[in-house]
Amino acid sequence: MKRELFSVLSAAALFLAADPLLAHSDKQGTTPVHGAQLTETPEMIHMVFDDPMRITMVRLVNADGDEMPIERGAGLEPSLEFHAEPQSLLPGSYTVEWRGLASDGHAMQGSFSFELTD
Ligand SMILES: [Cu+2]
């Protein structure tokens, strides 16, 4: 019984550690949504936060980890929204990785993925 509880708590702790966003909010939204299957390159990569976020790093990588060029749409000011424009992409899996500073000064990070099909 005690051991089971411990496992549950450990799993919860790992989960929280893996996704610091949960400490702040579960309202972050992205376009494309995580897991989206698209037939063409998204015009915009978009992230929405419920509290101003200063995005300090953002990159788009393919399945091999190669970085794809994106044009960042805003400056380094904290903002509720962030967008970046990717160039035309070949079919494949892509991940957006970002880091930022929340308004309370906490370092945040996240990622989401989408797939481009033929
Ligand atoms: Cu915080």
DSSP-assigned letter for residue 32: S
Whole-number pLDDT of residue 114: 97
Is 25-116 a domain of CATH 2.60.40.1220? yes
Cα–ligand 1 centroid distance for 7 (angstroms): 26
Q: How far apart are CA 99 and CA 20, in angstroms?
A: 11
pLDDT reported for residue 24: 60
- Extents of the domains making up the chain: 25-116
Per-residue pLDDT of the chain (118 residues; tens, 9 = 90+): 555 554 555 554 544 444 555 556 545 799 999 999 999 999 999 999 988 999 999 999 999 999 999 999 877 899 999 999 999 999 999 999 999 999 888 999 999 999 999 8
Using the mean position of ligand 1's atoms as its centre, give its distance from the Cα of residue 117 in Å. Answer: 37
Q: Please give the pLDDT value at position 70.
A: 97
Q: Which residues surround ligand 1, an ion (CB under 5 A)?
A: 102, 104, 106
CA distance 100 to 102: 6
Q: Considering Cα of 71, then 30, then 106, then 67, what sign does the dihedral take? A: negative
